[in-house]
């Protein structure tokens, strides 16, 4: 029987976090004391890169990861990675908080080493505000999808029709603007907060299309069967765009390079286990999301694999990072000049590169 070592512990904060670098107080955590000192390794010569290793730790290691939301489908990749870690003597205590800024603040203050489900735009802003964090891997490609009434078969057929978005400053509006500009649609946008409400509007022919998250679409199809069709997903249209990533405390990475490498390699192996073994993916999803119908989870796993949402190489590299910075800068989501940005201020490409090299690129 597979043994998992994740404790789903909800951190409750009494402080509204305005920013990651402010003095507004930190998240309250019941995490175990930090025991992340790396075991002693043989010395390397000056300038020599330490070799990545996936061998079991000489002594048990305990780490804390903080997820920037309640348990969700994005949490599957880190959960699978922590299974691999457990087999190598590394116990990862997975905690859940209300949003990405709280998760970032937790690891920035040393209450954890790893933050999961962190939007790239959120992480970049936090670094600019002084948070000592670094992006090491993407968990998936974006899952926001363009959905229409069943009568509409192509994106081009949306020209001149109505598009439902969450709000004036929402990411769904930014995505709707992207499709409108890319295809010259000239659509009329209608503000309808909430994926479920927009799905109901589609089902009742009140709007012609909308931007809805793919996991919500699969769940909502059970309530509104045969009421809409997925025309496209951002992950398919923009495969180089990275959105929800895994970040680490930069100081911890610098002080524990071998352990940080081992954890990153475990995460890549866990991601590949989800892709290669749908039964394992369903078992893990059912444990993580027990209130979701297993049939919906199974369908989501198929959708993620068929649409390439899960990438076996972790997506993140210099090209995808540059593209993502340019994308969010063009949308006004971040105040960074793509022409002069130093990507290494925000991203650590070496950890993922080493992991893919060790496991073999796919």
Q: How far apart are CA 49 and CA 45, in angstroms?
A: 9
Q: How far apart are CA 286 and CA 41, in angstroms?
A: 39
What value, to the nearest 5°, has the Cα angle with vertex 313 and ends 6 and 249?
50
pLDDT of residue 263: 98
Find, among 83, 139, 134, 92, the residue nearest to 112 by Cα: 92
pLDDT band at 35, cuts 50/70/90? very low
Q: Residues 42-94: pLDDT tens digits?
A: 444 444 444 444 444 467 899 999 999 889 999 999 999 999 999 999 999 99
Domain at 144-237: CATH code? 3.40.190.10
Question: What is the value of pTM for the model shown?
Answer: 0.76
Hey, where are the domains in the chain? 60-141+241-359, 144-237
Number of other residues whose CB lies within 10 A of the CB of residue 270: 21
- Describe the crossing of helices 278-288 and 76-87 by its angle, rounded to 10 degrees: 110
Domains 60-141+241-359 and 144-237 share a fold: yes
Which residues does residue 188 pair with via DSSP β-bridges, in sequence order? 162
Residue 204 reports pLDDT greater than 50:
yes
**322 HSE (CA, 13 A, CB side):** 7
Q: Residues 266-310: pLDDT tens digits?
A: 999 999 999 999 999 999 999 999 999 999 999 999 999 998 899
232 secondary structure, DSSP code: E
Residue 334 reports pLDDT greater than 60:
yes
Domain at 60-141+241-359: CATH code? 3.40.190.10
Find, among 39, 30, 28, 7, the residue nearest to 256 by Cα: 39
187 secondary structure, DSSP code: P
Helix (H) or strand (E) holding 210: strand 209-213
pLDDT of residue 169: 63
């Amino acid at each position: 029987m597979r043994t998992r070592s994740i404790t789903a512990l909800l951190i409750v904060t009494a402080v509204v976090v305005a920013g990651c670098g402010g003095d507004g107080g930190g998240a309250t955590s019941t995490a175990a004391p930090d025991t992340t000192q790396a075991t002693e390794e043989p010395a390397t010569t000056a300038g020599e890169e330490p070799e990545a290793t996936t061998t079991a730790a000489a002594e048990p290691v305990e780490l804390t990861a903080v997820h920037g939301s309640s348990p969700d489908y994005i949490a599957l990749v880190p959960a699978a990675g922590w299974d691999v870690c457990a087999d190598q003597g590394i116990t990862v205590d997975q905690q859940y908080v209300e949003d990405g800024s709280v998760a970032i603040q937790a690891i920035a203050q040393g209450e954890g080493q790893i933050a999961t489900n962190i939007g790239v735009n959120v992480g970049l802003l936090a670094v600019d505000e002084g948070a000592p964090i670094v992006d090491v891997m993407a968990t998936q490609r974006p899952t926001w999808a363009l959905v229409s009434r069943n009568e509409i078969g192509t994106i081009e057929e949306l020209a001149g029709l109505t598009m439902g978005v969450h709000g004036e400053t929402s990411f769904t509006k930014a995505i709707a603007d992207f499709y409108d500009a890319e295809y010259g649609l000239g659509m009329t946008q209608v503000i309808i907060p909430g994926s479920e409400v927009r799905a109901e509007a589609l089902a009742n022919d009140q709007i012609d299309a909308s931007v809805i998250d793919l996991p919500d679409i699969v769940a909502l199809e059970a309530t509104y069967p045969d009421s809409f069709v997925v025309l496209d997903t951002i992950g398919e249209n923009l495969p180089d765009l990275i959105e929800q990533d895994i970040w680490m405390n930069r100081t911890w990475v610098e002080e524990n390079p071998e352990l940080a490498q081992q954890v990153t390699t475990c995460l890549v192996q866990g991601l590949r286990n989800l892709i290669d073994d749908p039964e394992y993916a369903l078992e893990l999803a059912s444990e993580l999301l027990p209130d979701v119908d297993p049939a919906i989870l199974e369908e989501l796993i198929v959708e993620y694999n068929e649409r390439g949402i899960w990438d076996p190489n972790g997506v993140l590299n210099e090209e995808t990072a540059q593209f993502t910075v340019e994308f969010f800068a063009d949308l006004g989501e971040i105040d960074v000049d793509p022409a002069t940005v130093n990507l290494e201020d925000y991203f650590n490409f070496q950890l993922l590169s080493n992991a893919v090299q060790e496991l073999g690129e796919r």
